[in-house]
A and B are shown apart, each in its own frame.
Chain A
Amino acid sequence: MLITLIRREILDNLMTFRFAAAVFITLLLVIATTVVLIKDYERRLADYNTAVKTHHQQSLEKKTYSDGIFNVDRPPNPLSLFNVGLDKQLGNQVEVYHGFVPTLWDAQMHGSDNPIMNIFSSIDIVFIFEVVLSLLALIFAYDALAGERERGTLRLVLTHAVSRGYILLAKYVSAMMCLLVPLLISMLLAVMLLTTSTSFSLNADDFLRIAGIIFTSIVYLSVFYLIGMLISAMTRRTATALMLSMFVWGFLVLVYPNVILAALTPHDTPETRTASTFSQIEQLWEEFDREHKQYLKNDAVPGESPGFNMGWVGSSTRRFTKNAATLKYSYQNTFRIEKLNERSEPKVPHVQSYYQFLVPLTLNTANQTWLLRKPALEEIFVKPALVDRILLKLSPVGMYDAATQAWAGTDLFGIEDFFSAAQRYRQTVIDYFYDKKAFASRQWFAADKGAVDWSTLPQFFFQKSDVGINAKRALPDVSLLLTINVVLFVVIFLIFVKSEV
């Protein structure tokens, strides 16, 4: 019986104009967007490759250990095609050196991006589904029950010994099958276009992630179909159901996500928190500066000059960099002697012991700064952003967006993964220095007796998080969407069972 019902419904749906229009418009939009986005991705990838190449070249040219400041680059995420998230917006290059723990807030933009181009909104495939599929689902659903009731066919069906639950189920299954056609075909075509483009190298994990995105899309689609059905079950006339569905759609998709943040969250940063943490960090570095000066005063060479009055040719920088807004405070001390005056040669052991004192002190202070900075950054920047995201999740659109971002790895956590990798790389560099006993070596500051050979230093490599982790991050939102599905279905069932025909 169920099969007969489903077959009838499917045939009914397939022959309609709306089905043809749905397939056509989804395919058109998805293909056009995919082609544009693939071009965009290729451009970003080319930028990334040039940046990596130049940075590698630059790192080979560093002649002394103290010069060892490396730029690491964040590759563009190929899955940003599906949901761009924060992938394009946040910085994609950060400096790694021993005296500073890099974070997202110290990153910069490499590449040829024209900053003014940001005034245009960017789109992605998930956005198309977010807007078009939900609309289509409502268009398919609004007359599912109200229409049959109006035409009187519902009464006819119920004269047979068919339970009402079966009718609902048949309608739901058949409409979902029809809606899946445009979704699956367009996704398939998008993935096909991706695989034919040479610049994309998708591995098995990426396909699993895409599967996750498709699954989430189906669940999202089903939520909107059920919303439409609920409206249809509650109203007597199709015209009312249609109007109500359109306004509900407009509210959930168009209005709510934009209004809620403007209305509820006051975007003032906790300034006292920033100021107090920054003054603590400043104290750390003042202490550092004191110890540094103390050492210079007490060592065997007269004077407080960190250059030790040597005669040399080369370059050096000594500077503190600070930014109170992002709590950045760092110390750079690079020294590169290309040629040393003969007379200054006896001073070299002093300089060696100076750096043997200074570098561990810098390291230590940088690590202590990080201990203060990490929780403060979490509180000042990450927490309000997470609150915003939770507010957005009160609409299914927000949940869908968050879940697909998590699958694609373009959410905040996905981006932070890169910066943890950069932090780990800093540790690698430090370990490498300890390994080579670099701080006490002459090559820390002088390249006159041969430049540093960096060939044994491990290269920076960023591995995207495991697909399991993506799934874990997406799970809360996906399960929430599933719960909404079940709740809606139960409510529709209750209303439909009790309603008069």
Chain B
Amino acid sequence: MIWHIAKRELYDNLNSLRFALATMLLLGLMLTNAITHLREHPERVQKYRDAVAKHQSLLTSHAENSLYELAQQGPGRLYKQPSPLRFCAEGGETFLSDHAEGGYHRWSTDTLKSFWILVYPSVTPNVDNVHPEVTKVDWSFIIGYVLSLIALLFTFDSISSERERGTLRLTLANSIPRHTVLIGKFLGALISINIPFILAVLVNLLVISTSSNVHLGTEAWERLGIIFIIAILYMCLFLVLGLLVSARVQRSAVSLVILLLVWVTFVVFMPGTLASIAGGSASSGPTRGFYEYSWQVHNELSAQYRSRRRNASENSTQKVQSAGEYVIKDAEQQERLHEERLKQRIDQVNRARIITRLSPVTIAQHLLESFAATGFERHLQFLENVQSYARQFRVFIADSDKADPESLHILGVRAGMSEKPVSPEAVPKFEDALNLSKDFNIAATELMLLMLFVVVLMSGAYLAFVRAEV
């Protein structure tokens, strides 16, 4: 019986104006998305490769000079690998920096040079962009905004219009349980929306995968599958919402007004407003204040060092020792400062992200970002990778220094370290790896939250319909 009702709904929908309009709209959007991706992605990958190659050659030249030089200059810039699935979710990537600076020098005197530290760019790469700001047409926009609106337009009258026409009474006069009618209507709407959606997705993927410029691996297809399931889940949320309101309200026009206003509030406004509320609560301290403080810390340390050198009558090895200690300690201090600032900023963003989860569209967008390997969570993973690589690099330096018998094994100064060249192949390479299972772990909470929303609304719709007068 459920299928019977679903089939009837489906036939009703297939002939309707909204079906035709939805198909056109989704197809147009998905095609635009694919074409834009094909144009932009190869450029992005090329830029990434060029940048990596440039910094690799710098690293090689340092390594061929001497171990000290390599240790002092550091591994250079570390770049974030662009995701092949960026067309699914752009995730504010233009506001996140695409690299971390693994080699940042602040000072040098005639005898000493500051050691490299890990630093994160402090400004957005977007500061002189005078173009009008628009949302990127990615899947998360198409699904989050357009598809949700279409879902509401498909269900706003599914029960109320039958009530208006009196056919609902007719249906229920046959001994059909109400939940069967509800589920049948839900399935009918779900299938009829999925036809244009799947069509559009297929066209999109066809265009993208047939192009020779963009290559999607097995993992990318797995991710795409998960993204598709999330999209369906999110679509269900709005279908059920439509059914709920439609069951409660007597007239379709009223139902639509309510639904549109709910949609506008939750989907269009909540994300921005909530983020501003959360973002205004705490600030991470002015940039200049930070640099002033960082110099102050450094100056204190260097004053200590100088007074120690003036007072003590040390032999040459001890002098090297104390200089090395000073340089290394300074680098550690500075790196810690930068890390603390980064952590502060990340905490602030995380707080804002938690609050914005009240809006379903943000949940869906976060999920899509996680699985498309773009956006903020991905950035955090990248930073984690960078930090673990920095540790690896330091261990490598210490180990190869120990391997040289002529070295004094005092890190931080030229006199105390190995001066022999290092084979560039031996230096560990930075690999920015993507990890699907990790993404899954991060996304689990939000996935649960989305499911919870659907279940709650579903039971709400059931209760509303069971108790509604016909």
A-side residues, CB < 8 A to B, are: 17-18, 21, 25, 28-29, 32-33, 36-37, 39-40, 43, 47, 50-51, 54, 86, 89-91, 104-105, 107-123, 128, 131-132, 135, 139, 143, 238-240, 242-244, 246-247, 250-251, 254-255, 257-259, 261-263, 266-267, 326, 381-382, 384-385, 388-389, 392, 401, 412
Give the chain A neighbours of B146 by CB distance below 8 A: 250, 254-255
**In the complex, chain B residues whose CB is within 8 Å of the CB of A255:** 25, 28-29, 146
- Chain A residues, CB < 8 A from B133: 89
Q: Answer whether residue B91 sits at the interface, using C-beta atoms and an 8 A cutoff.
A: yes
Contact A25 B287 (CB under 8 A): no
Contacts of A242 in B (CB 8 A): 253, 256
Please, how many angstroms separate the alpha-carbon atoms of A40 and B129 in the complex?
A: 22
Question: Is B375 among interface residues, defined by CB-CB distance under 8 A?
Answer: yes
What residues of B have a CB within 8 angstroms of the CB of A121 in the complex? 135, 271-272, 275
B356 at the interface (CB under 8 A from A): yes
> B141's closest neighbor in chain A, by CB?
A258
Partner of A36, one of B257, B276, B283: B276
Judge if B433 is at the interface, Cβ distance under 8 Å. Answer: no
A38 and chain B: residue at smallest CB distance = B280
* Chain B residue nearest in CB terms to A263: B32
Contact B96 A116 (CB under 8 A): yes
Which of B342-350, B384-392, B462-470 has 4 or more CB atoms under 8 Å from chain A? B342-350
Asked if residues A251 and B25 are in contact (CB atoms below 8 Å), the reply is: yes
Q: CB within 8 A of B28: which of A32, A33, A123, A259?
A: A259
Asked whether A263 lies within 8 Å of B35 as measured between CB atoms, the reply is: yes
Contact A258 B21 (CB under 8 A): no
- Listed in ascending order, the chain B residues whose CB lies under 8 Å from chain A are 16-18, 21-22, 25, 28-29, 32-33, 35-36, 39, 91-92, 95-96, 122-124, 126-137, 141, 145-146, 149, 153, 157, 252-254, 256-258, 260-261, 264-265, 268-269, 271-273, 275-277, 279-280, 283-288, 345-346, 348-349, 352, 356, 375-376, 379
Known contacts A116-B96, A122-B276, A261-B134; can you find 9 more A-B pairs with CB under 8 A? A17-B257, A51-B286, A114-B284, A116-B349, A117-B349, A128-B269, A139-B260, A254-B149, A326-B128
Contact A259 B32, CB 8 Å, known A116-B96, A243-B153, A381-B130: yes
The residue that B18 contacts in the complex, of A43, A123, A247, with Cβ under 8 A, is: A247
Q: In the complex, what distance in Å separates the CA atom of A91 from the CA atom of B127?
A: 6
Residue pair B265, A384 in contact (C-beta under 8 Å): no
Query: Within the complex, which residue of A109, A113, A139, A392 is in contact with B132, where a contact is CB–CB below 8 Å?
Result: A392
- Contacting residue for B36 out of A25, A238, A263, CB 8 A: A263
Residue in A closest to B353 when the chains form the complex, CB atoms: A120
Q: Are A259 and B269 in contact (CB under 8 A)?
A: no
How far does the alpha carbon of A91 sit from the alpha carbon of B252 in the complex, in Å? 49
With a cutoff of 8 Å between Cβ atoms, the chain B residues found around residue A247 in the complex are 18, 21-22, 25, 153
Residue from the list A37, A258, A412 in contact with B134, Cβ < 8 A: A258
Contact, CB under 8 Å: B136 / A388: no
CA of A104 to CA of B130, assembled, Å: 9
Compute the total of residue contacts between A and B using a CB distance below 8 Å.
200
Alpha-carbon gap, A151 to B283, bound state (A): 59
Which residue of the partner chain, among B28, B134, B269, B376, contacts A116 with CB atoms under 8 Å? Answer: B376
Q: How far is the CA of A110 from the CA of B283 in the complex (A)?
A: 13
Chain B hits for A250, CB < 8 A: 25, 146, 149
Q: Which residues on the A side are within 8 Å of B284 (C-beta)?
A: 112, 114
In the complex, what distance in Å separates the CA atom of A258 from the CA atom of B142? 11
Give the chain B neighbours of A412 by CB distance below 8 A. Answer: 130
A90 and B133 alpha carbons, distance in the complex (Å): 12
B92:A119 contact, CB within 8 angstroms: yes
The residue in chain B whose Cβ has the minimal distance to the Cβ of A132 is B264
Q: Please, how many angstroms separate the alpha-carbon atoms of A28 and B252 in the complex?
A: 24
Q: Is the CB of B257 within 8 A of A119?
A: no
- Distance in angstroms between the alpha carbons of A242 and B252 in the assembled complex: 11
In the bound complex, CA of A119 to CA of B348 (Å): 12
Contact A110 B269 (CB under 8 A): no
**Residues in B whose Cβ lies below 8 Å from that of A139:** 256-257, 260
A90 touching B130 by the CB < 8 A rule? yes
Are B127 and A110 in contact, CB atoms less than 8 angstroms apart? no
Q: How far is the CA of A115 from the CA of B124 in the complex (A)?
A: 5
Provide the residues of chain A in CB contact with B261, threshold 8 Å: 21, 25
Given contacts A135-B260, A244-B17, contact A120 B352 (CB under 8 A): yes
Contact of B283 among A18, A32, A90, A112 (CB under 8 A): A112
Interface secondary structure of B, over-half rule: helix
B87 to chain A, nearest CB (A): 11
Q: Among the listed A47, A86, A123, A261, which residue makes an inter-chain contact with B269, where contact means beta carbons less than 8 Å apart?
A: A123
In angstroms, Cα B132 to Cα A385, docked, is: 7
Q: How far is the CA of A250 from the CA of B33 in the complex (A)?
A: 17
A128 to B270, CA, bound (A): 11
Does A114 contact B273, Cβ atoms closer than 8 Å?
Answer: no
Q: Which residues of B contact A135 (CB under 8 A)?
A: 260, 264
- Nearest CB in chain B: distance from A155 CB, A: 22
- Chain A residues near B91: list those with CB within 8 A: 119
Interface centre among B33, B127, B149, B277 (most CB of A within 10 A): B127
Query: Which residues of chain B have C-beta atoms less than 8 A from A114's C-beta?
Result: 279, 283-284, 345, 348-349
Is A107's CB under 8 angstroms from B128's CB?
yes
27 A-B residue pairs with Cβ-Cβ distance under 8 Å, sorted by A, are: A17-B257, A18-B254, A37-B276, A40-B276, A51-B286, A114-B349, A116-B349, A117-B352, A118-B95, A118-B124, A119-B349, A119-B376, A120-B271, A120-B275, A121-B271, A122-B275, A122-B276, A123-B269, A139-B260, A242-B253, A251-B25, A259-B32, A262-B36, A263-B36, A381-B128, A382-B130, A385-B130
Expressed in whole angstroms, the minimum distance between the Cβ of B370 and any Cβ of chain A is 14
**How long is the Cα–Cα vector from A267 to B39 in the complex, in angstroms?**
10
Measured between alpha carbons, how far is A28 from B262 in the docked complex, in Å? Answer: 12
Q: Which residues of chain A are within 8 angstroms of B256 by Cβ–Cβ distance?
A: 139, 242, 246
Give the shortest distance, in Å, between B38 (CB) and chain A (any CB).
12
Give chain B residues whose Cβ lies under 8 Å from the Cβ of A43: 280, 283
Instruction: Please determine whether A18 and B123 come into contact, CB atoms closer than 8 angstroms.
Output: no
Which residues of chain B are near A266, meaning CB under 8 Å? 39
Which residue from chain A places its CB closest to the CB of B91 in the assembled complex?
A119
Q: Nearest-CB distance from B14 to chain A (Å)?
A: 15
On chain A, the residues within 8 Å of B254 by CB distance are 17-18
CB-CB under 8 A for A36 and B280, given A104-B128, A259-B32, A381-B130: yes
CA gap between A176 and B434 in the complex, in Å = 55
In the bound complex, do residue A29 and residue B352 qualify as a contact, i.e. CB atoms below 8 Å apart? no
A389 contacts B132, C-beta separation under 8 Å: yes
Q: Give A334 to B35 CA distance when docked, in angstroms.
A: 52
In the bound complex, how far is the Cα of B288 from the Cα of A47, in angstroms?
Answer: 12
Q: In chain A, what residue has the closest Cβ to B31?
A: A263
A381 to B287, alpha carbons, bound, how many Å? 27
B126 adjacent to A89 (CB under 8 Å): yes
Assess whether B131 is in contact with A385, with CB atoms less than 8 Å apart.
Answer: yes
The answer to whether B275 and A388 touch across the interface, beta carbons within 8 angstroms, is no
Query: Which of B135, B279, B379 has the largest count of A CB atoms less than 10 A from its CB?
Result: B279
Q: Is the CB of A243 within 8 A of B17?
A: yes
Residue in A closest to B348 when the chains form the complex, CB atoms = A114
Closest CB in chain B relative to A484 CB, distance in Å: 20
Top 7 closest pairs, chain A to chain B, by CB: A119-B92, A120-B275, A123-B272, A112-B283, A118-B95, A115-B124, A247-B21
Q: Which residues does chain A contribute within 8 Å of B141, judged by CB atoms? A: 258
Residue of B nearest to A244 (CB): B17
Residues of B within 8 A of A381 (CB): 128, 130
Q: Which residue on chain B has the smallest CB distance to residue A41? A: B280
Distance to closest chain A CB from B378 (angstroms): 12
Closest residue of chain A to B24 (Cβ to Cβ) is A247
Closest chain A residue to B22 by CB distance? Answer: A247
Find out whether the CB atom of B130 lies under 8 angstroms from the CB atom of A258.
no
Q: How far is the CB of B250 from chain A (nearest CB, A)?
A: 10
Q: Which of A43, A51, A113: most chain B CB closer than 10 A?
A: A113
CA gap between A473 and B368 in the complex, in Å: 41
Q: What is the CA–CA distance of A104 and B95 in the complex, to the nearest angstrom? A: 19
Q: How far is the CB of A393 from chain B (nearest CB, A)?
A: 10
- Check A131/B348 contact, CB under 8 A, given A115-B124, A255-B146, A259-B137: no
Q: How far is the CA of A302 from the CA of B36 in the complex (A)?
A: 63
